[in-house]
Each structure stands twice: as structure tokens, then as C-alpha cells.
């Protein structure tokens, strides 16, 4: 069952279901809380929880709204370890490309943010595939495994994953990463073909081939919010 509500200035949507075993709260890019809860939990309990954590939630809302992209001229995006500035140009199609330190989007209608976002994601997807391919080959040779196939997905939470069948997935957001962070990400996923877990052996394997992997991992996780292509 889905409903909406407001506690002071904090808006929320509440989805209750028997499948939900606990209460979870996520702050959306629009600043609205998305709350999931077991069906037995009352609205009063939810609103009391919001009131109790009001200051923390307001800070999180401010962060999300601040980091959301406008998709207007001057908007800034992380790209290949650096930052590029969005420049919109009127054109006959919707196409994104890099020109020096500019992220140029040719658009029929520069007010159509949905199409502009799609063009940017198409660029990120293509460039992520181009950069990741050689790294998959490199780390597969190093670890003595067959180079697996991989896909680029529009994943908003995970940077990458490895299935039990040995297929690798990477988020198109990985195009935001610099070379060192991207190399760590690919090593991490290819290493799962050797150890399909996060055991001590898995971590030792990472340490053997990338002694500073923890530093790179930390830098990658620090990019989680900035890499979101949201509006």
C-alpha cells in the first residue's frame, strides 16, 4: 500500500508491504523520502521516526538536492577522473561528446532535459566500455582466467558486479572514475572469478596485485554521490 505525507517541511512517500521486514528510509534526488515498512507499522510510528531524526534527514535532503544536476549550461560532471562543464548547443539530433574540458550536448530542444540526460548516458556508456575492455583483458591475463564478457548498465548503487555464471557488469557511472580507481574496480570484479566472495583470500589476492587497493577503493566510494546522473 502506497501513501504520501508530510512532517513539517519533510515530504515522504510510504510503501507498506508484508514483504518488508524492517523500516528503510531513502532520500530521493527530489528531496522526498522514500520509506518502506512492514504493513503492520502505523503512519504515526513513521512520522515519529521522522521527527526523531529530523536534523539528520534535513541535512541528507540538502545534500541530495544540492548534488542533483540541472542539465543546463554550466552544470558540472565528473568524467574520467576530472570535471567537465556542460555546454548545450542547438543541433539536429541529441548527441553528447567531449571537447577539451567541455561536455557538449547537441540538442534539438535544449529544454528537453530527459533527452539531454539520455545523450549523456549514451556517451558515458560507450566510453566506459572502451576503457573497461582492455582492463578486463589485462587483469584476466594477470589472474590466469579467461576474459569474461561484460555489460555496461545504468546501475545507480553498484559500481560493478560478478554473477555466479562469471558475467561481469559495470555501471555506466564508472566513466566518472580516474584510471587508478577504474583499474581497481575491474580487478575487484575479475578477482571474483577466482574467489566468489569477499574472504581473506579474496582480499589477499587484491593486495598481491594492487598494494594500494584500499586507497583506490576509498576514493571510488567517495565518488558515489557525485557520479549520479540525476535531475
Per residue in 162-172, pLDDT (tens digit) is 999 999 999 99
Task: Please report, in angstroms and rounded to a whole number, the separation of the first and last CA atoms in the chain.
Answer: 27
Residue 228 in domain: no
Domain that holds residue 162: 122-222
How far out from the chain centre does Cα 66 lie?
16
pTM: 0.75
Q: Is-contact 69 231, C-beta < 8 A?
A: yes
Per residue in 183-226, pLDDT (tens digit) is 999 999 999 999 999 999 999 999 999 999 999 999 999 888 77
Q: Identify whether residues 59 and 90 lie together within a single domain.
A: no
How far out from the chain centre does Cα 120 lie?
14
Q: Identify whether residues 109 and 131 lie together within a single domain.
A: no
Residue 227 in domain: no
pLDDT digits (tens), the chain, 231 positions: 899 999 988 999 999 999 999 999 998 877 889 999 999 999 999 999 999 999 999 888 877 766 678 899 999 999 999 999 999 999 999 999 999 999 999 999 999 999 999 999 999 999 999 999 999 999 999 999 999 999 999 988 899 999 999 999 999 999 999 999 999 999 999 999 999 999 999 999 999 999 999 999 999 998 887 787 755
Residue 169 in domain: yes
Average pLDDT across the chain, whole number:
93
Per residue in 60-70, pLDDT (tens digit) is 887 776 667 88
User: Which three-class secondary structure state does DSSP give residue 147?
Assistant: coil
Q: Is-contact 147 167, C-beta < 8 A?
A: no
Amino acid at each position: 500500500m502506497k501513501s504520501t505525507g508530510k512532517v513539517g517541511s519533510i515530504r515522504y512517500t510510504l510503501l507498506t508491504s508484508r514483504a518488508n521486514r524492517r523500516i528503510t528510509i531513502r532520500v530521493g534526488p527530489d528531496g522526498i523520502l522514500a520509506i518502506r515498512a512492514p504493513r503492520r507499522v502505523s503512519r504515526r510510528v513513521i512520522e515519529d521516526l521522522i521527527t526523531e531524526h529530523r536534523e539528520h534527514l534535513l541535512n541528507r535532503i540538502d545534500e541530495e538536492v544540492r548534488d542533483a544536476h540541472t542539465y543546463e549550461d554550466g552544470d558540472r560532471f565528473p568524467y574520467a577522473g576530472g570535471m567537465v562543464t556542460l555546454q548545450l548547443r542547438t543541433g539536429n539530433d541529441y548527441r553528447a561528446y567531449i571537447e577539451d574540458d567541455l561536455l557538449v550536448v547537441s540538442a534539438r530542444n535544449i529544454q528537453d532535459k530527459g533527452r539531454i540526460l539520455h545523450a549523456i548516458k549514451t556517451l558515458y556508456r560507450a566510453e566506459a566500455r572502451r576503457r573497461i575492455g582492455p582492463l578486463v583483458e589485462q587483469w584476466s591475463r594477470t589472474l590466469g582466467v579467461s576474459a569474461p564478457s561484460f555489460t555496461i548498465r545504468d546501475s545507480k548503487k553498484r559500481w560493478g558486479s560478478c554473477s555466479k555464471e562469471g558475467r561481469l557488469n559495470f555501471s555506466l557511472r564508472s566513466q566518472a572514475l580516474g584510471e587508478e580507481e577504474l583499474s581497481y574496480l575491474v580487478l575487484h570484479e575479475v578477482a571474483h572469478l577466482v574467489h566468489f566472495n569477499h574472504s581473506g583470500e579474496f582480499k589477499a589476492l587484491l593486495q598481491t596485485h594492487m598494494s594500494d587497493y584500499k586507497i583506490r577503493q576509498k576514493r571510488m566510494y567517495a565518488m558515489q554521490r557525485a557520479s549520479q546522473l540525476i535531475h
